[in-house]
Structure 1
Amino acid sequence: MTLLHWLSPWEPSPTFVAVFLSFSVLYLRGTRRQHVSLDRQLAFWLGMAGIYIALHTRLDYYFERQFFLHRLQHLVLHHLGPFLIALGHPGAVLRAGMPVRVRQRVFNPFLRWPPVRYLLNVLLHPVVAVVLFTGIIYFWLASSVHFIAMLDWRLYRVMNWSVTVDGLLFWCLVLDRRPAPPARLSPGKRILVIVAAAPPQIVLGAYVFFSTHDRYPIYALCGRALVGMSALRDQQLGGLILWIPGAMMSAVGALIALRHWLRLSARGRLRAGTRGAQLRRMSRWGMPSSR
């Protein structure tokens, strides 16, 4: 089989292609209008490539028919892909790529529209962000919900889109490298949010790994892609993927957020009162300060 065969979609989605191409074109236009370092561009395109491969290639056939491969798919959609895109800090670049009239007459007024502002304030509240980031994994992995989602192609797409959008919101929130304001969260809060998201994922991964019965019979019903693998082995591998790589991503994210905090502090871009409060909160969690 050729590379083109694997890159061709198992279930074509014109909506995904339109969204993917729109963001790609905007980013390319933006890089022509403002300087973007090579490492930021590389992170953005690697993240975009990961999301494309996980959503719109022949591999989707296997993601639908093997639990641990499905967990790998969601590791990319919810963690790795959005994480890399957020590392590229693409917000200003995408905005610069918009035509001036569209930015002034459509995009900016849309963001200032009270319902949109209220919705973003709710979704990007630190407590809500943690609950959504972990809760969406719990929801789609509930046995009854997962069974229906893997049978209904419409719910399957909703599931994949929801974890991708949630991952982008979460990682862009906590990997913001700016001081607050204009960033929504202070550097210390970003670290705490990332740390708070790790334990629920570890607990769920361990629960799936140590389960002694097949919690996801849909894969046996539809036929596993890897015929020789037992249901429990498949489930154990999926639990490990949820357990270990997910927790590792949180650890890496916390270190990057801490690096941003130290950089801002070294450059004197943190207000004194805010910085003191952050240091006190960090000390309660037993984390190192920037002093």
Structure 2
Amino acid sequence: MDLLVWLEPWEPSPTVVIAIVGAAILFVRGVRHARVSPLRQAAFWFGLVALYVVLHTRLDYYFEHEFFMHRLQHLVLHHLGPFFIAWSYPGAALRAGIPFNWRQRFLKRATRTKPMRIAFDVIFHPVVAVVLFVGLIYFWLLSPIHFKAMLDWRLYRVMNWSMAIDGLLFWWLVLDPRPAPPARLAPGRRIMMVIAAIPPQIVLGALIFFTPRELYPIYSICGRAFTWISPIRDQQIGGLLIWIPGSMMSVIGALVALRHWMRLSARARLREERASLGQRPQSAPRDLPVSSSNRTEGGEASRL
């Protein structure tokens, strides 16, 4: 019974509940129609539950009253949770979970409007994606900004949501298993993107770790959850979380993107060899499906 207390939200948020439950319902409906392997399903549920735990449980109290716990929260929001959701590649399942009439009337029309196309082109540009991914970490850790965000509950939620949404967009772009097109970026560019995000995280983590003075006094002013940890030690642990786990997640993302590249390259070479022998490929869509969105996304990702 005591364990259930930890599932109670410290600060209830209907937005979090609607977003998490809505995504869960769409995924459950979609897996009935889209081919999603058990491993991909497990990755999606792990990522979704991780986001819920750090956003809507009693742990939020500790995230608000200890710097290293706050960094742990953002590590899950910006890296771990979105990484596993993107790695599961649930696009086909989530789209299949939307009623057909809604997809035709609303989703299809909305995504094809000029403002939406421009917005997607800007957000998913590799330079913009990297700058946003790293820049948001720096921005929310600026001492004056961080001070205000931890005092104002509205700004605090904007901070958390911005990290979660940006993490989903970035990892979705990097871990896309398809060739380009239909993917927005070629596999090699995805690898360069995630590698480019590593040095700034290392620099920021090292800067926070080696700074001898307290950078974030808001935790001392409002009261620390763990009084036996000194402010400097708390700050050092938080810096290490940015420095090591954050960078390691980027390394793992680069390795996954490299695996996609090698898989796609191997399949391309097999088709070239068949062509050189004068043999017609048995089924081109089976290797690089392009005939429909569901087969494109679900077919490639199911082979991961």
Using a 3 Å threshold, how does the CA distance of structure 1 residues 2 and 269 change in structure 2: closer, same or farther? farther
Which residue does 1:115 correspond to in 2?
115
Which residue does 2:95 correspond to in 1?
95
Aligned pairs for 1:206-285 (under 5 A) are 206-268=206-268
Rounded to whole Å, the distance in 2 between the matches of 1:268 and 1:234 is 50
Deviations 1:36-73 (A, max 9, x none): 10000000000001100000000000000000000000
Question: Does structure 2 retain, via aligned residues, the 8 Å contact 1:209–1:238?
Answer: yes
Rounded to whole Å, the distance in 2 between the matches of 1:237 and 1:19 is 31
Question: Does structure 2 retain, via aligned residues, the 8 Å contact 1:179–1:264?
Answer: yes
Amino acid at match of 1:179: P
Q: What is the TM-score normalised by the length of structure 1?
A: 0.92
Using a 3 Å threshold, how does the CA distance of structure 1 residues 270 and 83 change in structure 2: closer, same or farther? farther
Amino acid at match of 1:230: S
Rounded to whole Å, the distance in 2 between the matches of 1:247 and 1:19 is 28
Percent identity, aligned pairs only? 64
SS state at 2:268 partner: coil
Using a 3 Å threshold, how does the CA distance of structure 1 residues 164 and 190 change in structure 2: closer, same or farther? same
Deviations 1:74-131 (A, max 9, x none): 0000000000000100111100110000000000111001111111110100000000
Deviations 1:236-287 (A, max 9, x none): 0000000000110011000000000000111118999xxxxxxxxxxxxxxx
Rounded to whole Å, the distance in 1 between the matches of 2:33 and 2:110 is 23
Rounded to whole Å, the distance in 2 between the matches of 1:124 and 1:269 is 29
Amino acid at match of 1:69: M
Which residue does 1:191 correspond to in 2?
191
Using a 3 Å threshold, how does the CA distance of structure 1 residues 186 and 271 change in structure 2: closer, same or farther? farther
Rounded to whole Å, the distance in 2 between the matches of 1:115 and 1:158 is 23
Deviations 1:1-60 (A, max 9, x none): 612100110000011111111111000000011221000000000000110000000000
Aligned pairs for 1:1-291 (under 5 A) are 2-268=2-268
Gaps of 5+ in 1: 273-291
Query: Which is greater in Rg?
Result: 2
Amino acid at match of 1:16: V
Rounded to whole Å, the distance in 2 between the matches of 1:113 and 1:90 is 23
Rounded to whole Å, the distance in 1 between the matches of 2:187 and 2:83 is 17
List 4+ stretches of structure 1 deviating above 2 A.
Answer: 269-272
Deviation at 1:228, TM superposition (A): 1.1
Q: Over aligned residue pairs, what C-alpha RMSD do you find?
A: 1.3
Rounded to whole Å, the distance in 2 between the matches of 1:32 and 1:43 is 17
Using a 3 Å threshold, how does the CA distance of structure 1 residues 202 and 119 change in structure 2: closer, same or farther? same
Q: What is the TM-score normalised by the length of structure 2?
A: 0.88
Question: Does structure 1 retain, via aligned residues, the 8 Å contact 2:34–2:92?
Answer: no
Deviations 1:195-239 (A, max 9, x none): 000100000000000001000000000000001111000000000
Using a 3 Å threshold, how does the CA distance of structure 1 residues 112 and 220 change in structure 2: closer, same or farther? same
